């Protein structure tokens, strides 16, 4: 990847060198011809050749991979071109020898590590050859000003060497700083792309000029969709009525706002705005940091629920134990009466008492289950066996009807998992019993398992009546139930069991088509 980037950079530098040198050579020839009254017609053939060759170079550069070779070839052509001008003109009395300096600078930019000095030495040799050619063409005239010619040659040598060294040094320094800047930019972009904090850069007018992916994710859109928008409107600052909140925001302290996402929902964000001041003291832009407070608020809600439920748990445990004892006496007495009564009407009343006591006992058992979730006892078991036991228990449960069907396909090989077998089986039974209740007219209950390397996904799907959209967000809340005889504890207990196994449970439902619960737990936990 780095080689490709370097190759592309070299290609761009060679291309720019081709374009700029055409402009420089053309302007220099025009000005030189005008100032020194040299007939431009003397350079026509050179100009035609040079422009045609440059055009061919540019076309070939787009298709060739030998960029370095083309760069070297172009520098040699430039040196020979300048030499041809000096051969036509006088190398001593004209300033065209300075064009070698342009070639030296260009070569340093194209090849920063060695181009400048090598080109400078080559230019010195070529310039000396032009001087010798001028000497051989007009030896008498040249000898009359030999001292001046030697001095001019010496000055050109010093200038070329100095230009070569200096341009090489500046080019290497520029290349180093460019690489450092590119590396710093790459690191900064990596941090901005992967940091979970939303980052916005806004100008003096409050318009967003940069947004990282986290900011776009918080607001339910892409980062590019935020560009050009005013950050007050995007983050809901305009809806903040509190004067104190606005003062805290101006002071650089975090302020909580409710920002609107693209889908119309709202998300709580912690906003911090920090102006970036230049040395002159003027602030040209500001950095706005956005922190998603949804998880924090959810955690606080759970803490409040846990505190509220702690009292309910203690009260539920006391009441459940106190109710269960007299229920046992009532049930036993009703059974004795049933054996001694001969009147069918009275026997029916006794059976009603026994049936209602059993229902009350089931409710009490739910409350006791809710209050006595104990420390887990982790053991390794086969997931196939666990799910088979659950399917058998559901099949023999009194809620199962002949119009219902339970589907479970065993996995082709054992799947070892580390769970609390009793609690996890109870969680699956709760889901299965709810599914049976959701199919009063019959249907299918399907249990599937998908093992992965480090986790396992269990799906419990029914074809029942489904859950209304307004009810779905509340199904895991304690004591929330839509059943006439429900306690609202089963799904809450199921969620607690799954989370105690460091797993997750989600629900997807559609009214009239059924409900699907998806459980995902790790396969291994420390025993």
Residue 465 DSSP SS3:
coil
Burial of 169 (0-12, 13-18, 19+ CB in 10 A): middle
352 alpha-carbon distance from chain centroid: 62
The answer to whether the CB of 453 falls within 8 A of the CB of 429 is no
Phi, psi of 509 (to 5 degrees): -145, 150
DSSP, res 513: T
Task: Single out the residue of 431, 309, 305, 433 nearest to residue 371, CA to CA.
Answer: 309
Pairing status of strand 266-277 against strand 416-419: unpaired
Q: Could you tell me the mean pLDDT of each successive run of 10 residues in the chain, 527 residues long?
A: 54 67 67 60 61 67 65 78 77 75 79 81 87 70 64 84 84 80 76 81 86 86 87 80 74 82 83 75 76 80 69 65 71 78 78 78 66 70 92 88 89 88 88 90 92 91 91 80 68 86 91 92 73
pLDDT at position 2 is 46
For 54, half-sphere exposure in the C-beta direction (CA atoms, 13 angstrom radius) is: 21
pLDDT at position 1 is 44
Q: How far apart are CA 436 and CA 28, in angstroms?
A: 93
The count of other CB atoms within 10 Å of the CB of residue 524 is 12
pLDDT at position 328 is 74
The answer to whether the CB of 42 falls within 8 A of the CB of 86 is no
Burial of 122 (0-12, 13-18, 19+ CB in 10 A): buried
The count of other CB atoms within 10 Å of the CB of residue 431 is 25
Residues 157-192 pLDDT 10s: 888 888 888 888 887 887 788 778 778 777 777 777
Q: How far apart are CA 471 and CA 494, in angstroms?
A: 18
pLDDT at position 241 is 67
The C-alpha angle with vertex 470 and arms to 466 and 471, in degrees rounded to 5, equals 60
The answer to whether the CB of 202 falls within 8 A of the CB of 288 is yes
pLDDT at position 43 is 57
pLDDT at position 446 is 93
The share of the chain scoring above pLDDT 70, in percent, equals 75
The answer to whether the CB of 283 falls within 8 A of the CB of 240 is no
Q: What is the CA radius of gyration of the chain?
A: 43
- The domains located in the chain, with CATH, are 2-191 (no CATH), 198-292 (3.30.450.20), 297-371 (1.10.287), 379-522 (3.30.565.10)
| CA dihedral sign of residues 174, 176, 181, 186 | positive
């Amino acid at each position: 990847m780095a080689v490709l980037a370097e190759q592309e950079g070299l290609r761009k530098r060679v291309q720019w060198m081709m374009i700029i040198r055409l402009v420089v050579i053309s302007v220099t020839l025009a000005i030189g011809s005008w100032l020194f009254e040299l007939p431009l017609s003397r350079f026509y053939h050179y100009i035609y050749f040079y422009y045609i060759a440059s055009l061919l170079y540019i076309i070939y550069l787009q298709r060739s991979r030998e960029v370095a070779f083309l760069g070297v070839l172009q520098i040699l052509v430039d040196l020979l071109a300048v030499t041809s001008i000096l051969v036509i003109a006088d190398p001593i009395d004209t300033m065209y020898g300075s064009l070698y300096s342009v070639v030296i600078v260009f070569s340093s930019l194209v090849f920063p590590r060695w181009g400048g000095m090598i080109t400078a030495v080559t230019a010195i040799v070529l310039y000396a050859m032009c001087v010798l050619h001028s000497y051989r063409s007009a030896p008498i005239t040249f000898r009359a000003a030999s001292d001046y010619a030697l001095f001019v040659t010496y000055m050109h040598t010093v200038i070329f060497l100095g230009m070569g060294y200096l341009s090489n040094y500046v080019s290497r320094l520029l290349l180093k700083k460019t690489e450092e800047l590119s590396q710093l930019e790459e690191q900064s972009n990596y941090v901005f792309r992967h940091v979970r904090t939303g980052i916005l850069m806004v100008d003096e007018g409050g318009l967003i000029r940069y947004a990282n992916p986290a900011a776009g994710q918080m607001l339910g859109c892409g980062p590019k969709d935020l560009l050009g928008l005013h950050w007050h409107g995007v983050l809901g600052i305009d809806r903040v009525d509190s004067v104190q909140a606005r003062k805290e925001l101006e002071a650089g302290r975090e302020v909580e706002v409710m920002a609107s996402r693209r889908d119309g929902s709202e998300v709580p964000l912690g906003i911090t705005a920090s102006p970036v001041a230049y040395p002159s003291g003027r602030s040209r832009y500001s950095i706005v940091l956005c922190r998603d407070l949804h998880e924090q608020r959810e955690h606080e809600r759970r803490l409040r629920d846990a505190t509220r439920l702690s009292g309910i748990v203690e009260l539920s445990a006391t009441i459940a134990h106190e109710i269960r004892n007299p229920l046992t006496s009532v049930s036993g007495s009703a059974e004795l009466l049933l054996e001694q009564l001969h009147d069918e009407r009275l026997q029916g009343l006794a059976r009603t008492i026994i049936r209602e006591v059993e229902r009350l006992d089931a409710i009490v058992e739910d409350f006791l289950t809710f209050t006595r979730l104990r420390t887990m006892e982790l053991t390794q078991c086969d997931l196939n066996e666990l799910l088979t036991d659950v399917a058998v228990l559901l099949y023999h449960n009194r809620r199962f009807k002949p119009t219902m069907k339970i589907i479970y396909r065993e996995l082709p090989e054992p799947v070892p998992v580390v769970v609390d077998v009793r609690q996890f089986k109870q969680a699956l039974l709760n889901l299965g019993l709810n599914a049976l209740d959701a199919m009063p007219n019959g249907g299918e209950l399907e249990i599937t398992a998908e093992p992965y390397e480090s986790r396992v996904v269990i799906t419990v799907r029914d074809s029942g009546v489904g859950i209304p959209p307004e009810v779905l967000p509340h199904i895991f809340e304690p004591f929330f139930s839509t059943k006439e005889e429900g306690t609202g504890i089963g799904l809450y207990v199921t969620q607690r069991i799954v989370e105690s196994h460091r797993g997750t449970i989600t629900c997807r439902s559609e009214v009239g088509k059924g409900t699907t619960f998806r459980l995902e737990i790790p396969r291994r936990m420390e025993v």
